[in-house]
A and B are shown apart, each in its own frame.
Chain A
Amino acid sequence: MPLRKKKVITMLKNRLIACLVIKNGIVVQSIGFSRYLPVGKPEIAIEFLNSWGIDEIIVVDIDASKEGRTISRDNVRSIAKKCFVPLTVGGGFNSVEEVRQAIRSGADKVSINAAAIRRPELITEIAAVLGAQSVIVSMDVKVNQQGKYEVFISNGKEETGLDPVSWAKKVEELGAGEILLNSIDRDGTKQGYDLELIKKVSAAVNIPVIALGGACHPDHFCAGIEKGKAAAVAAANYFHFTEHSVITTKAAMKKQKSIHLRLDTYAHYLHLEHQETDGRIRKPSDDYLEEIRFEFHPKEEI
């Protein structure tokens, strides 16, 4: 029998990313870029997302740009202290110096949005100094009145006339490391990603595209990867709703053969099934509960 050539897997794992939207110093839920519900302190959100095995965290201060400042260094420092996964911060960055300070305060990457549109060279400047891997260009996309996708800035209020696909190609050319693609129309809707948009942008560039906006079910994340061809899938509000949300979501996604994820938390939820309707865990079988009723579980030793 001929030796079969061993298949070399070059593909990176898909990442599940939590996005924390900060307003007035607290994490909020964002709905349609217009309603904001107060969730709590960024430090505590970061602490739990870490223990739930999130792959990356993106923290965006949505007031910063509007108030003509950047996300504060103290804030970056205090959240970075609790964060053991790659941390991206965003909000108001206009210069390489500001970005450098954020990185010094503990961030691994920065996300820039309006500033990149106003002065596209900024992308190249940051990439030249800190490396392409540290620049995420974030774009907020909405279907405009002509029924076409368009990039918006200023929390979705200001149009730019840019088409997301050509803008994505441009930022790749300028040296961006990744693209965070957010759908304003889907923000907080729980209806899943705008797959058509994600597919269009992902197909147009070679750098990783992170999908954001509307995910509220493990199937949505899977679709973002499988149908949208996103390299990473992100959500903001969703992770605040349930216990161990990151782990239960990853466990559900793992059941899809084509999804490759890191799931290495001690609690893994692989023994449980998920509801079709909302993707939440199902009750374990009564036989199983009967069986474990008298079992002893020691704590993990690290």
Chain B
Amino acid sequence: MKYCTRCVYPENHPLNITFDEQGVCSGCRVHEEKDSLDWKKREEELKTILEEYKSKSKGHYDCIIPVSGAKDSYFIVHLIKNIYGMKPLLVSYNKHYNTEIGIRNLAYLRTIFDCDILTQTIDPKTVKKITRATLRDMGSIYWHCLAGQTVFPVQIAVRLKIPLIIWGAHQGIDQVGMFSHLDNVEMTRKYRKEHDLMGWEAEDLVSEAMYLSEKDLQAFAYPHDKEIEKVGVRGIYLNNYIRWDSKKQHEDMIQLYGYESFPQQRTFDTYNDVDCHYYSDLHDHIKFLKYGYGKVTDHVCREIRLKRMTREEGIDLIKKYSNIPPKNIHLFLDWLGITEDGLQYFIDQYRNKDIWKKNDQGVWELRDNILHHQHDPHVDEVRLEKKEECHFQITPLKKNPSPHTRQILIGRGFVDRE
């Protein structure tokens, strides 16, 4: 397995990745633009777009912002509403795997910023049926979250005739350099199908064997091309116009609005995924079982590129977190009504054979890992100079956590400080 000589991404990255002669990956090369582009000018471009989309009709929404109880939601709303003076409609797909903190962060988000919000909560029985199917068909417990998050905003855009959707970072750009920032890439159904949904759109899941009808999947179906065209819907990504730094952005939001952070099971980033019981837990463990690396690798790559971590420090963190077992696995198994063996069986079908092999005893083992690539050629010559330390804060909680870990489907969220 080839690993990037600057960050630590492997060549089997599911979004695909390329390497240059020095072994540096496309993600690192595109990331260099963060230090070379004129971001003032980029921001002006953003302002021009936003200005055009400000609605002249009285009181109508200017744009849609998809939000959750974590992952840069505060920053995006802060920027678009408080800094640029737009009137956004917030939309949120309820991913069912909510933590208390996630529910609370979202409740404060809509009250602090005085925004209208639309939430889509699909009935749990259907979500479970779909999740059983996606586990079988692609080894994923997260398909419905990704499908819902990426389609609900578009459905609302065509239904309410709001032609602009504002997203945060484009994962393809930020992780593997799929596009240059200068490409000003926009939301497409193609990217969603291929990369968010692993090639499976809602229609593709219809299956008699899984008792899944078109009706069950209707909430996840993409609007027809004609509906999108009629309204002229466009989805833009802020990281093309703003020098994206998720850690710094979250820290600003902690300071300004009291965003809550929380330690994560399988990574050191305490900001991004506090709203979900499984994202840095079971879902990430599954990612590791499929591709031989987890979320911690994504976070290490990001921090190396932002010059807050050396490659060696990053590898130490990967060593520390990669093999931590998921602590919420039973919460999930109980919710879905399957056994641990059953789950394992499905996941094993989707092991990437470039990185995993079954040994003589029938046990899966890694063919390679980053630890064998600490001293690869070119590592020193392509190294970035570390400029600051990487410390993630843990904020005080607004409310003592309840003694039992549970998924909250719908919760009040907003609390008076105790």
Interface size on A, residues (CB 8 A): 45
Q: Which of A272, A278, A300 contacts B232 (CB 8 A)?
A: A272
Q: Are B232 and A41 in contact (CB under 8 A)?
A: no
- Name B163's contact: one of A31, A242, A267, A283 (CB within 8 Å): A283
Asked if B52 is at the interface (CB within 8 A of a chain A CB), the reply is: yes
* CB neighbors of A among B35-56 (8 A): 52-53, 55-56
How far apart are A154's CB and chain B's nearest CB, in angstroms? Answer: 15
Nearest chain-A residue to B190 (Cβ)? Answer: A48
B60 surroundings in chain A (CB, below 8 A): 286, 289-290
> Which A254-302 residues sit within 8 Å CB-CB of chain B?
265-269, 272, 278, 280-284, 286, 289-290, 292-293, 297, 299-300
Chain A residues positioned under 8 Å from B194 (CB to CB): 40-41, 44
Q: Would B183 and A38 count as touching, CB distance under 8 A?
A: no
Q: Which residue of B lies closest to A270 (CB)?
A: B229
Expressed in whole angstroms, the Cα–Cα distance for A190 and B180 within the complex equals 12
Chain A residue nearest to B160 in the complex (CB):
A293
Residues facing A in B205-243 (CB within 8 A) are 224-235
Chain A 15-56: CB-based contact to B (< 8 A → 1; otherwise 0): 000000001101011010001111111001100100100000
Residues of A with C-beta under 8 A to B16 = 26, 38-40
- The verdict on A134 contacting chain B, using a C-beta distance below 8 Å, is no
Given contact pairs A243-B234, A286-B55, A37 touches B225 in the complex (Cβ within 8 A): no
For B187, give its contact among A29, A243, A267, A286 (CB under 8 Å).
Answer: A243
Answer whether residue B164 sits at the interface, using C-beta atoms and an 8 A cutoff.
Answer: yes
B255 at interface, CB cutoff 8 A:
no
- Please name all residues of chain A whose beta carbon is closer than 8 Å to the beta carbon of B161 when the two chains form the complex: 289, 292-293
B185 within 8 A of A: yes
Counting chain B residues whose Cβ lies within 8 A of the other chain, the interface size class is 35 or more
User: CA–CA, A292 to B185, complex, Å?
Assistant: 27
Contact of B190 among A37, A44, A269, A293 (CB under 8 A): A44
Contact B230 A44 (CB under 8 A): no
Our pick among A37, A44, A237 for the contact of B18 (Cβ within 8 Å) is A37
**Residues of the B chain whose Cβ atoms lie less than 8 Å from the Cβ of A293:** 160-161
Report whether B15 and A38 are in contact in the complex, using a CB–CB cutoff of 8 Å: yes
Shortest distance between the CB of A196 and any CB in chain B (Å): 25
Task: Check A241–B232 contact: CB distance below 8 A.
Answer: no
Q: Are A282 and B52 in contact (CB under 8 A)?
A: yes
Q: Which of B171-179, B322-330, B372-380, B403-411 contacts A (4 or more CB under 8 A)?
A: B171-179
In the complex, A286→B180 CA distance in Å? 32
Would you list which residues of chain A between 181 and 205 have a CB under 8 Å from chain B? 190
How far is B191's CA from A292's CA once the two chains are assembled, in angstroms?
Answer: 28
- Which residues from chain B contact A45 at a C-beta distance below 8 Å? 190
Interchain CB contact under 8 A, A37 and B228:
no
Binding site for B on A (CB under 8 A): 23-24, 26, 28-29, 31, 35-41, 44-45, 48, 51, 190, 237, 240-244, 247, 265-269, 272, 278, 280-284, 286, 289-290, 292-293, 297, 299-300
